[in-house]
Amino acid sequence: GKTWSPIGADREFKGTFDGNGKTISNLSSTQFFGYNGTAVTASANNNYVGFIAKASDATIKNLTISNARISGGSYVGGIVANGEDTVIDRCIVDDKSTVVGYEYVGGIIGAHRWGAGNTTRFTAIVSETDNSAEVGGYKYVGGIAGRVYDAIIQLCTNNGKVYNAGNNDVTTAGETTCF
């Protein structure tokens, strides 16, 4: 695959990324984590790995990620590694992809939190989004999201296998706090 530097690695991505129904194929992260389907091996120092590393007050929509190898330490996601007050709508990570990390690992988004200045709840919206990638990690691992707070996750599907090498439960949404 093609090695890339994630959008928002140096400064949080703010604004709208509209994939316009296009597919981005063959991405490969430079932070490799060994993974054999049941165990994750490596140190957890390569953080914020995803198509978009960090997003704040952002919307990511109408995008497909295909045949990607996304791996890192903390905050790893097929679309967004770590988001704050972010909407992800009509995005897909396909079954030819893998998303692997240590903690806060999700097929679509690794982790999401609401911004400190935000007084409205429900700040994350993940809608009509599908993950078919294989997802693996040690803790806070989910097919759609690794860990989210104050979120609405609606009309999403996870068809990918999810592996957790730690002692945490694995669900479609990892650990989620929704209102």
DSSP conformation letters of 46-74: ---BSSEEEEEEEEEEEEEEES-EEE-SE
Q: How far apart are CA 114 and CA 19, in angstroms?
A: 24
pLDDT value of residue 3: 66
Which residue's entry shows tokens 């919307």? 59
One digit per residue, pLDDT tens: the chain, 179 residues?
556 788 998 899 999 999 999 999 998 875 544 444 444 444 445 899 999 999 999 999 999 999 999 988 899 999 999 998 899 999 999 999 999 999 999 999 999 876 555 444 445 678 888 899 999 998 899 999 998 877 788 888 899 999 887 755 555 555 444 43
Is 163:138 a contact under the CB 8 Å cutoff? no
Q: Cα–chain-centroid distance for residue 91? A: 11
| Measured CA distances, 152 to 67, 99, 144, 145 (Å) | 27, 22, 12, 11
Task: Report residue 131 as tokens.
Answer: 């993950």
pLDDT value of residue 19: 97
